[in-house]
């Protein structure tokens, strides 16, 4: 399957794994060559890069006012359980402590690891102000339908509020943050994530530059969600609903 997400295709013919791997490797080599020749042409070939694996709801190891641009695609509330989706790779890498020194710790302590994910379900109810009237309305509406779901969504908004505050701290004045985010509908309640994010970011001090709505171009993932749970579902599910036909790009600036 093309997606990294676990999916079932009953008609799938099992290909020769070595052939598939080599074909994919070749295409990645070609794309990398293209990328590096573009970097060289534009004079950006020798710019250094550093990667951190961090929980973005916590303080990042970056100085205040040190970053020019943030581009991010945060989790969408309760639609993916990222920790579960990546559990297989985690277990796989965990068996290889030579190359992935700390990964076996995550697979051993999976439940605790899972709790750090933004948008995961069954977190303990957190308290605090959402800094968004839209978020307030959404959570109140959900409370009328399903309390545990209202708690999940409330926790998600509180986590994202922390992320926005940290983004604001690390950006330089004049620095920009672009976030790509989609809305959804849970148990008949419209979950306007993008509008909530825009409100929370403005409360964190950001100024709005652009709010772009765009049709999702790649239909690699199923467009169907279960109208009860908001989770991905197949086209044969009678309570299916179409979701995320659009997504939003929110561009903000730290004044």
Q: Note the residues at the interface with ligand SAM (CB under 6 A).
A: 55-57, 73-75, 82, 116-118
Q: 81 or 228, CB closer to ligand SAM?
A: 81
Contact 67, 175 (CB under 8 A): yes
Q: Is 217 exposed, middle or buried (0-12, 13-18, 19+ CB in 10 A)?
A: exposed
For residue 142, the minimal CB distance to ligand SAM (Å) is: 21
Q: 131 or 159, CB closer to ligand SAM?
A: 159
Q: 115 or 208, CB closer to ligand SAM?
A: 115
For residue 156, the minimal CB distance to ligand SAM (Å) is: 10
For residue 11, the minimal CB distance to ligand SAM (Å) is: 28
Q: 40 or 71, CB closer to ligand SAM?
A: 71
Give the list of residues 6+ apart from residue 159 with CB closer than 8 angstroms, or none.
57, 118, 119, 126
Q: 147 or 214, CB closer to ligand SAM?
A: 214
Other CB atoms within 10 Å distance of the CB of residue 56: 19
Three-state secondary structure call for residue 30? helix
With both helix axes pointing from N to C terminus, report the angle between 147-170 and 193-203 in degrees, rounded to the nearest 10. Answer: 40
Q: 22 or 28, CB closer to ligand SAM?
A: 28
CA 33 vs CA 36, 41, 146, 168, 251: distances in Å:
5, 12, 51, 35, 31
Give the list of residues 6+ apart from residue 221 with CB closer than 8 angstroms, or none.
3, 5, 232
For 232, which DSSP code?
A: B
For residue 48, the minimal CB distance to ligand SAM (Å) is: 21
Tokens 């306007």 found at: 192
CA 146 vs CA 29, 138, 153, 163: distances in Å:
49, 12, 11, 26
For residue 57, the minimal CB distance to ligand SAM (Å) is: 5
For residue 45, the minimal CB distance to ligand SAM (Å) is: 23
For residue 180, the minimal CB distance to ligand SAM (Å) is: 8
Q: 79 or 132, CB closer to ligand SAM?
A: 79
Q: How far apart are the first and last CA of the chain?
A: 45
């Amino acid at each position: 399957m093309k997606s990294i997400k676990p999916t079932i295709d009953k008609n799938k013919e099992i290909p020769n794994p070595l052939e598939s791997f080599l074909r994919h490797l070749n295409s990645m080599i070609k794309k990398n060559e293209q990328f590096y020749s573009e970097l060289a042409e534009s004079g950006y070939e020798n710019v250094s890069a550093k990667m951190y694996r961090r929980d973005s709801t916590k303080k990042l190891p970056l100085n205040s006012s040190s970053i020019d641009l943030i581009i991010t695609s945060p989790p969408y509330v309760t639609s993916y359980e990222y920790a579960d989706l990546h559990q297989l790779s985690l277990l796989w890498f965990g068996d290889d402590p030579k190359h992935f020194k700390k990964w076996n710790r995550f697979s051993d302590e999976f439940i605790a690891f899972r709790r750090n994910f933004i948008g995961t379900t069954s977190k303990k109810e957190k308290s605090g102000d959402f800094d968004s009237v839209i978020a307030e309305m959404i959570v109140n509406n959900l409370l009328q339908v399903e309390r545990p779901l209202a708690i999940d969504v409330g926790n998600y908004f509180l986590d994202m509020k922390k992320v926005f505050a940290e983004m604001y701290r690390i950006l330089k004045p004049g620095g920009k943050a672009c976030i790509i985010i989609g809305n959804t509908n849970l148990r008949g309640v419209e979950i306007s994530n993008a509008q909530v994010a825009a409100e929370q970011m403005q409360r964190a001090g950001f100024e709005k530059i652009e709010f772009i709505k765009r049709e999702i171009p790649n239909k690699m993932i199923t467009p169907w969600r279960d109208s009860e749970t908001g989770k991905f579902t197949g086209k044969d599910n009678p309570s299916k609903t179409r979701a995320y036909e659009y997504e939003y790009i929110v561009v903000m600036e730290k004044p």
